[in-house]
Chain A
Amino acid sequence: MSQIGFWDILTNLIFATGWTVLLSIISFIGGGILGLILLFARIGKRKWLQHVVKVYTEVFQGTPLLMQLFLAFFGLGLMGINVSPFLAASVALILWTAAFLVEIWRGCVTAIPKGQWEASASLGMTYVEQMRHIILPQALKLSVPPTVGFSVQVVKGTALTSIIGFVEVTKAGTVLANATFQPFTVYGLVALIYFALCYPLSLSARKLERKLNAAH
């Protein structure tokens, strides 16, 4: 078995990293779109819609991502719907990401001072006009750093999908560690790959925060 050398390990891991990146992008974009839709329900005027979204976020934030992955994979299977690990992982991660993004963004909207609402209302703007011209442009600026920061959590969250058999970089690492009996080398490399993915993200979150704090 020891014919598998260091470079074999590395190339295999890098190939699997492609899946980690793809899954991260799908989760983040899908979760972002769903999160935006949920945001409008959450900050809109319909009480029952607000409530539905509130329950949604509490369920997804209050249960482990791992359970959500199990439910998406095995649960749908039990119902006779055959889902691939990739599909189950994508669905679970999109739902999970949306639950966090909607709360991050809601926080940004509520952070806009009451005076902005009152001033725009006093000029005769309707709720939708206030949102579009006054509140959301300012909230958007506030939301960029925490949103980029959260993308780090999404990348790390994809590691859990290895448990339902999706071969991303962590799963590839497990397979390679079993084959080579070099768990330290393999998982060390896996960790370095995650760091290489996440560090630029958190760095840019910090940079964006500084840049957006400066005027305009």
Chain B
Amino acid sequence: MPLIDIDALHKSYGETEVLKGIDLHIKKGEVIALIGKSGSGKSTLLRCINGLEQINGGAISVDGQQLINDEMHLRNLRQKVGMIFQQFNLFPHKTAGENVMLAQQVVKKTSKSDAEAMARKMLDRVGLGDKFDNYPDQLSGGQQQRVAIARALAMEPIALLCDEVTSALDPELVGEVLEVVRELASEGMTLIMVTHEMAFARDVCSRLVFMHQGRIHEMGAPEEVFTNPQTPELRSFIGMSH
């Protein structure tokens, strides 16, 4: 059974239809890269999966549970599906450690000592064990993004959504974040990422999904998609990005 089921998903902003019927089934442990031009709907698709955007039609289910738009259902869903953002979105009034601890304590009602132990473990895992007491503005962009990853991991999600996680970083900081993502993939975490890092996507992903004008235009194993694109749109997109 797939972990994430997306069927006939439609999403509009007012008159503009941005997702025009998406079917996508993601198995546990798959690493999916959503690629495509800006405006093709890939970020919107990602944001629909954890309910940040309300859908207008179709259905999404995660781990057998239907996405329903009320607070308790969303709360359950979001504990299973973590999200990492382009702009990191760390809580600036809390230290790195507190950022990782907060939702555990508030949402999962974990005790403070357990939350702290988990936070230390997760910060260690992303290579920031020594930054527990630093505030976000004392960290580089790459470090902030790694704290954001630790924060999502501390909730022990079954899948992670990554929305252009390296796009706001200086080029020299991209590598450290991708390294963490690569490690997660190799440990079997289910990942769905919107990315412009084509080389990384080709290297790490089990499946590439090319989106065009609100639809899945083409998808397949990365080698296949890159070496033998079937549609002129994908051909020109790959040509562009090289």
Contact = CB atoms under 8 A, between A and B. Distances in A.
**Chain A partners chain B:** yes
Interface of A: 113, 115-116, 118-127, 129, 133-134, 137-138, 141, 215-216
B78 interface: yes
Contact of A134 (B82, B85, B91): B91
B223 interface: no
A138 B89 CA distance: 13
A62 B49 CA distance: 45
Contact of B89 (A116, A129, A137, A215): A116
B92 A138 contact: yes
Determine the main DSSP class of A at the interface with B.
Answer: helix
B43 to A, nearest CB: 12
Given A116-B89, A215-B135, A126 B75 contact: yes
Given A115-B85, A115-B87, A137-B93, A125 B137 contact: no
Interface string B81-109: 01101010111110000000011001110
Contacts of A115: 85, 87, 89
B205 interface: no
A122 B50 CA distance: 7
Contacts of B151: 123
A129 B106 contact: yes
B71 interface: yes
Contacts of B137: 215
Nearest to A115: B89
A141 B92 CA distance: 12
Size bracket, chain B contacts: 20 to 34
B24 interface: no
Nearest to B108: A124
Given A124-B78, A125-B107, 17 more contacts: A113-B89, A115-B87, A116-B91, A118-B83, A120-B91, A121-B78, A122-B82, A123-B82, A124-B79, A125-B103, A126-B71, A126-B75, A137-B93, A138-B91, A215-B135, A215-B137, A215-B138
Contacts of A113: 89
A66 B137 CA distance: 47
B107 A129 contact: yes
27 contacts: A115-B87, A116-B91, A118-B52, A118-B85, A118-B89, A119-B83, A119-B85, A119-B89, A119-B148, A120-B103, A121-B52, A122-B78, A122-B82, A122-B152, A123-B78, A123-B82, A124-B79, A125-B75, A125-B106, A126-B71, A126-B75, A137-B93, A138-B92, A215-B137, A215-B138, A216-B93, A216-B135
Contact of B155 (A116, A124, A126): A124
Contacts of B107: 123-125, 129
A122 B102 contact: no
A129 B102 CA distance: 10
A129 B89 CA distance: 17
A122 B93 CA distance: 18
Contacts of A138: 91-93
B93 A141 contact: yes
Nearest to A122: B83
Contact of B102 (A127, A133, A215): A133
A211 B225 CA distance: 55
A33 to B, nearest CB: 24
